[in-house]
Structure 1
Amino acid sequence: MAKKKADAEEVKEELKGKDAKNSKENFGSTESENEQDSVALEKAAEKESLKTEKPLDIEKKKKELLEKAKKLKEKISSEGPTTKELKEQIKLKKRADMLIPLDEYVKAGIYLGTKVVTPDMRAFVYRRRADGLAIFNTDLIDEKLKEGIEYLSKFAPEDVILVCKRQVGWKAAEMFSRLTGIRVFTKKYPAGILTNTQLPDFFENELTIVTDSWLDRNALNDTLNVRKKVLMICDTNNFSKGTDQIIIGNNKNSRSLGVIFYLLAKGYCKAKKIEADIPDLDWWTAEED
């Protein structure tokens, strides 16, 4: 019995020794493999850092990038310009097609409205200044002037009258009348001249150009009473009710009214083929002594 026990202990010790030996061998093997992997990784990393692209490789990549850029550009062109580009193109085209350069409109102060903005004129206001003054959209000023010229050109000179009670507009209004042959009333409009057939100076017209509906209300009312057409210059404080065509802009400034009457005269004479020696814009916008 004692002998069997001793034999068992001997076998146990032998197995224990073998396990320890195998474990040591396995650990050594794993450690060796890890060390080899680590060295290989370091070498590979170092190799990557030492790499330098050859000139041919750079040129090749550059060529590929240029090709991609070209294809992208062609794709964009085929799809058409972006919204931003379209807006810019339209803006530039409008500037190029203006009746006069934008800076001339600005110098004349035609874009300056009043602190009062009627519902009729709200759509034409771009913004308000810090002092509350409304600012007209200059693109719309130009568009409305073009429309006004086209509308006025439908009428013969003898069928049109211009009414301008505001003193700062008299000089330009009278020159407009002289060039176009259109009758003008400055200072005072004779009430009833369009409506009262009993008046010795009664006459009929087809169109009345109103400079300011507040000052020229008698002429406006007479024209509406006889159901004739109205072309009105509207500032931000004017109502456009009853008009057939409006021109927007500052109607309280001599330079602004000078620009408006200059463009109307020039456009009307051209449309009607009237030969007239029209003064340049500087004359129309010059302050009177």
Structure 2
Amino acid sequence: MSDKKEEQSGGEELLVPIEKYMAAGVRLGAKISNNYLIKRGFIFSVRPDGLRIFNLKKIDERIRTAAKMITRYESSKIVIHSAKPYGFKPIEMTCKFIGCKAVAGRFIPGSFTNPSLDNYMDAELLVVTDPKTDIQSLTEAAQAGIPVIGLVDTDNEPSYIDLMIPCNNKGRGSLALIFWLLTRQVLRERGEIPPTGDLPVTPDDFKTKATAQLQ
């Protein structure tokens, strides 16, 4: 596409070739956009059909920043939540590699705020795949003073999100690639793999089966 060179110009090389980002649909937003995202330069352009297009450089930068943030916390104190079935496999794979806790599906009320519950989690960092569907964990994190990293689409409200990763948080391919990159970058930051090292699995191994239905 004509905007490839513009998105790649300046700064460091992207975590993966731009073609991989585009093939996974990472940059495809919704037809609605939040003014905050526009002001922060997260929206690159608008297609003729009305879909907002994210700035890939911003996505790439935020993945790197999120990885650095994650490395500051003990793995067992990190919780990743996805109420969306398409997010189940990505978050489970990420937690398998970095040692955090994955909550796939419903987030039981009180898990962050009621220590008397059997399912209570003493979390210090929360990662959500969608502020809209993961609202229970997001709200409780805010109540408990737990910092939040959130994957934010153009139609999301970024309230309670401390660090946003702007991206398509609805597609199978996009979620798989984002979490694969985040996982790899965390391991690189920790020194568990070389600075240019890869995971022993591919983004496809992070992808939820197509039979899963979005909520």
TM-score bin (small chain): 0.7 to 0.9
Q: Do residues 257 (structure 1) and 179 (structure 2) align?
A: no
Residue in structure 2 matching 1:175, options 82, 93, 101: 93
Give the distance between the partners of 2:209 and 2:121, measured in 1 at CA. 34
Alignment of 1:277-288 (within 5 A): 278-285=200-207, 288=210
- Root-mean-square deviation (Å): 2.2
Matched with 1:196 is: 114
Amino acid at match of 1:185: V
Give the C-alpha shift of residue 240 in structure 1: 1.7
**Contact persistence 2:147–2:161 (CA under 8 A):** yes
Relative to structure 1, the CA distance from residue 116 to residue 92 in structure 2 (aligned partners, 3 Å threshold; closer, same or farther) is: closer
**Contact persistence 2:27–2:167 (CA under 8 A):** yes
Give the distance between the partners of 2:30 and 2:79, measured in 1 at CA. 27
Amino acid at match of 1:283: D
Matched with 1:103 is: 19
Relative to structure 1, the CA distance from residue 185 to residue 90 in structure 2 (aligned partners, 3 Å threshold; closer, same or farther) is: closer
SS in structure 1 at match of 2:45 = strand
Matched with 1:223 is: 141
**Contact persistence 1:125–1:135 (CA under 8 A):** yes
Matched with 1:138 is: 56
Deviations, residues 185-235 of structure 1 (Å, cap 9, x unaligned): 011111111101221221211100011010000000000001111111101
Structure with the bigger RCO (C-alpha within 8 Å, sep 6+) is: 2
Matched with 1:117 is: 33
Give the C-alpha shift of residue 105 in structure 1: 0.3
Deviations, residues 255-288 of structure 1 (Å, cap 9, x unaligned): 0000111011111122224479631234335854
SS in structure 1 at match of 2:79 = strand
Gaps of 5+ in 2: none
Q: Which has the larger radius of gyration?
A: 1
Instruction: Return the TM-score normalized by structure 1.
Output: 0.65
Matched with 1:44 is: none
Give the distance between the partners of 1:228 and 1:90, measured in 2 at CA. 33
**Contact persistence 1:108–1:285 (CA under 8 A):** no
Deviations, residues 118-151 of structure 1 (Å, cap 9, x unaligned): 1222231111111111111111111111111111
Give the distance between the partners of 2:183 and 2:161, measured in 1 at CA. 20
Q: Do residues 237 (structure 1) and 155 (structure 2) align?
A: yes
Alignment of 1:144-155 (within 5 A): 144-155=62-73
Gaps of 5+ in 1: 1-87
Give the distance between the partners of 2:6 and 2:79, measured in 1 at CA. 39
Deviations, residues 105-124 of structure 1 (Å, cap 9, x unaligned): 00000000001111222231
Give the C-alpha shift of residue 93 in structure 1: 4.5
